[in-house]
Amino acid sequence: MPRTITVISALVLATSLTACGSGQSAPTRLIKQVTDGVEVTITENGSKIKILNMLLVATETGDAVLIGTIVNQGAETDQLLGISVGGNQATITGENSLKQQAPIRFEGDSANAKAVFFGVTPVAGRHVKLLISFARAGLVTAEVIIRDKRDDYKNINSGTSAPAEINASPDSQPRQ
């Protein structure tokens, strides 16, 4: 009899504990972070935009360079309006029009855009809230990590000269 009670208790506990956090709205189901880069899907205002592998790389010149890809999977063209951290705007060069299945790639062999936060002295290892603005999809916030310039990111550089005015550090607003 005691053995039967033990077996039944173990089965009840096993099935009830494995059900914790399951279902369509489970918090663990909604998190998507592959390696260091963050992934976000935007479905606001009829949009279908994916942000893939987004992170920042700290350079030896005190700049932060954006890494990642933005893909418009919707039928309507959208436009990247701006990227900021803690009120500091990135200097964006290259492609900013998001046509269907024509990704904007920041850095890498197939890069068609560059986004740099000049003179912000980023601190590797910190997480910051990156605010990305689109014409149709609106605003989206992604919490991204700042990586140091090594391994896959050893050849990343700011690539252009800094604007005349430089603001405070984007990592002055660490994850809260």
Does residue 5 form part of some domain? no
Q: What is the CATH number of the domain that holds 136?
A: 2.60.40.1890
Does residue 1 form part of some domain? no
Helix, strand or coil for residue 152? helix
Give the residue from 164, 153, 137, 159 showing the smallest Cα distance to 51. 137
Rounded Cα–Cα distance for residues 133 and 129 (Å)? 13
What would the two tokens of residue 150 be? 């090594």
Does residue 22 form part of some domain? no
Q: What are phi and psi of 53, to 5 degrees?
A: 55, 40
- What is the per-residue pLDDT across 45-86, written as a single tens digit (0 to 9) for each? 889 999 999 999 999 999 999 999 999 999 999 999 999 998
Helix, strand or coil for residue 47? coil
pLDDT band, very low/low/confident/very high, at 24 (cuts 50, 70, 90) = low
Q: Which domain holds residue 66?
A: 29-172
Does residue 57 form part of some domain? yes
Does residue 9 form part of some domain? no
Does residue 52 form part of some domain? yes
pLDDT at 25 over 90: no
pLDDT at 31 over 60: no
| Percent of the chain clearing pLDDT 90 (strictly above) | 65
Rounded Cα–Cα distance for residues 173 and 162 (Å)? 22
pLDDT at 175: 39
Give the residue from 105, 106, 47, 44 showing the smallest Cα distance to 78. 47
Rounded Cα–Cα distance for residues 171 and 113 (Å)? 23
- What is the per-residue pLDDT across 77-129, written as a single tens digit (0 to 9) for each? 999 999 999 889 999 999 999 999 999 999 999 999 999 999 999 999 999 99
Q: Give how many domains the chain has, as a whole number.
A: 1
Does residue 74 form part of some domain? yes
Beta strands 138-147 and 88-89: pairing type?
A: unpaired
Instruction: For the chain, give the mean pLDDT.
Output: 83
